[in-house]
Structure 1
């Protein structure tokens, strides 16, 4: 079985996206902070609930991103998949709380079709590489969260991670949060212990810019998952660029336009995702549009595999 099947699972730039909120809540570098960050500089302490409140306030203002044209570069950095990387183009639709669709295909000589999605009940991934047999997998959120549905190869992926990377996830106030400032690079790292659906103990992190974000800079720099035992990074989503605009209600919104999602263990796989247009923000879809984009589709001649009743084994290295 082809490894790729198993793994493919000009806005108004407002510099105050995080500026006023961060300043009002005592987060980040003070106005009289002298010079650059470094060993001789300190960042003021920040209570975890302040950063959680920022994430939830941002999510409350970003209910949907639709009609986003995307460019995706899929790269396997292990020794098991042939190079070069696969380049795909397509569309992205996302709406809170769990509605998501990424539908892409390649052009030219490389024939790859990939789409993934989610709704309130389930999530799914489809991939077809060249003329080989397609892979179509799905699972209910209930089975996945209970550990009954296993992702192939032990990939530490959670469907909510997509919404989190887009800035559309709400964070529970009940997690055991900690905050670590790093004056050398000017960041705050919010972290908390968690358990993946497969029972693995991990530490989740969100890294913030201490400076107010402006232009294409994102206030949230990174999301990461680490092994709770050794601290090794298992996967991350790094926000390279963002777009900032003001919503119809006057709220300042920010969402990523260029991000890299990378899995380090057990595979070394990377997705670089770029939004290449100005998508629609907080524009409600019709019932027909929601049905078309957020429902697992039927593919002629292909039987979807329920991950709660399947087992996948990657070939040995």
Structure 2
């Protein structure tokens, strides 16, 4: 009796050696292979398809829905302000910065530090040449520097001298605007707000903003469920667009109870500048207020030029400096104070987005004097001392059905205190 031939439970090796005089055996059936392909196709049609398409996608919790349909102006403003009030400070070491429309400018890696009420330090660099752009602001002044600018200079201006100066021509809106773009945006009770009005599936609020340069108009688009600030558009009194920030791919940081954009597109037409920033891995409320971090940099070979008292025309726009730079030529030598690396959060309230590993810690480095070559000097690393607020359970706001236009009550909307 002839036994029934058994089917192979797996495919044979792709290549094999035949003995002398042997004839190739009949190829085994391909049913197992077809079964594997069919199973893979079924998986792609199921819930795991998104993970297959994007294996690096964050698996963190979804942001809570804090607004109900028909939420009033006061309720929307309160939800936005509560989110912003939970952010004491902000830092990232692995942002990616691109300059659309300027083909010669390479993608830059960025470090960003931000702290309330208006302190900012952004440094962009390449892995080969080191720091290429330094932009910042402290309580007294603002500055910007492009390594390849001609003539070489570090430009700065006091806030109280910004209006009408050469600094305003180079950068029509102060660097603190980037804080709003990154997620610090809020509705101030000293400004005038109207709305909400429908904006697709979202809502729009129109504001008259009191700024150091005078009254400006602003349009803010807010997610109608999660109170995310999606779009910010600022206009001059004569209706010209001054700056735009588009926020995308928000992440929720449950330890801080905060939602922040992962990608930000910033446009300043008068500065001839457009930036796209992917913020990378962000840490919240872990940054020590080190005065050196916000101090005006001192760079070897780059004189400090005060644009506050200088007439318009002394320098070109910030975007023009980036566009005119020869990015293929050797970088000029510069002693630049590099932003210190982030420390790994160790205390409660040190917030990372869920699913994102913390940045690696590094050994402390010594502050150096201005070097003659391109090797940057470094500030001392930060130490964690701030314990942020505990996670706040979001509660839906509403429902309410507002009139066509509403205004802030006297004294504004109270925000949740930061402990």
> C-alpha separation between the residues in 2 aligned to 1:284 and 1:12?
26
> C-alpha separation between the residues in 2 aligned to 1:135 and 1:51?
44
**Do the aligned partners of residues 195 and 16 (structure 1) sit closer, same or farther apart at CA in structure 2, a change above 3 Å counting?**
closer
Would you say how many aligned residue pairs link Structure 1 and Structure 2?
260
> C-alpha separation between the residues in 1 aligned to 2:179 and 2:223?
20
CA RMSD of aligned residues (A): 2.9
Identify the residue that residue 145 of structure 2 maps to in structure 1.
Answer: 126
Deviation at 1:69, TM superposition (A): 1.6
Q: Is the 8 A contact 1:239 1:256 kept in 2?
A: yes
**Do the aligned partners of residues 301 and 154 (structure 1) sit closer, same or farther apart at CA in structure 2, a change above 3 Å counting?**
closer
> C-alpha separation between the residues in 2 aligned to 1:206 and 1:153?
25
Identify the residue that residue 190 of structure 1 maps to in structure 2.
Answer: 205
Identify the residue that residue 236 of structure 1 maps to in structure 2.
Answer: 244
1:206 to 207, 220, 225: 220
Q: Is the 8 A contact 1:11 1:244 kept in 2?
A: no
Identify the residue that residue 269 of structure 1 maps to in structure 2.
Answer: 273
Which structure 2 residue ranges, 5 or more long, are not aligned? 1-56, 321-419
Stretches (4+) displaced over 6 A: none
2:188 to 172, 183, 189: 172
- Higher-Rg structure is 2
> C-alpha separation between the residues in 2 aligned to 1:139 and 1:293?
18
Q: Is the 8 A contact 1:99 1:119 kept in 2?
A: yes
> C-alpha separation between the residues in 2 aligned to 1:298 and 1:154?
20
Which structure 1 residue ranges, 5 or more long, are not aligned? 1-9, 24-28, 30-43, 214-218
Deviation at 1:235, TM superposition (A): 2.0
Within a 5 Å distance, the mapping from 1:1-317 to structure 2 comes to 13-17=60-64, 19=65, 21-23=66-68, 29=69, 44=70, 46-47=72-73, 49-75=74-100, 77=101, 83-107=103-127, 113-129=132-148, 132-144=150-162, 147=163, 149-153=165-169, 155-182=171-198, 185-194=200-209, 197-199=212-214, 202-212=216-226, 219-230=228-239, 232-247=240-255, 251-264=256-269, 266-276=270-280, 278-285=281-288, 290-313=290-313, 314=316
Q: Is the 8 A contact 2:161 2:309 kept in 1?
A: no
Measured against aligned partners, the alpha-carbon deviations of 1:127-148 in whole angstroms (never above 9, x if no partner) come to 1227x4323111222333xx26
Q: Is the 8 A contact 2:97 2:275 kept in 1?
A: yes
TM-score by length of 1: 0.72
**Do the aligned partners of residues 120 and 176 (structure 1) sit closer, same or farther apart at CA in structure 2, a change above 3 Å counting?**
same
> C-alpha separation between the residues in 1 aligned to 2:81 and 2:241?
25
SS class of match (2:298): coil
SS class of match (1:51): helix
**Do the aligned partners of residues 140 and 180 (structure 1) sit closer, same or farther apart at CA in structure 2, a change above 3 Å counting?**
same
**Do the aligned partners of residues 268 and 150 (structure 1) sit closer, same or farther apart at CA in structure 2, a change above 3 Å counting?**
closer
Q: Which has the higher strand share?
A: 1
**Do the aligned partners of residues 300 and 112 (structure 1) sit closer, same or farther apart at CA in structure 2, a change above 3 Å counting?**
closer
> C-alpha separation between the residues in 2 aligned to 1:150 and 1:167?
29
> C-alpha separation between the residues in 2 aligned to 1:160 and 1:273?
15
**Do the aligned partners of residues 181 and 202 (structure 1) sit closer, same or farther apart at CA in structure 2, a change above 3 Å counting?**
same
TM-score by length of 2: 0.55
> C-alpha separation between the residues in 2 aligned to 1:119 and 1:228?
27
Q: Is the 8 A contact 1:12 1:245 kept in 2?
A: no
**Do the aligned partners of residues 135 and 242 (structure 1) sit closer, same or farther apart at CA in structure 2, a change above 3 Å counting?**
farther
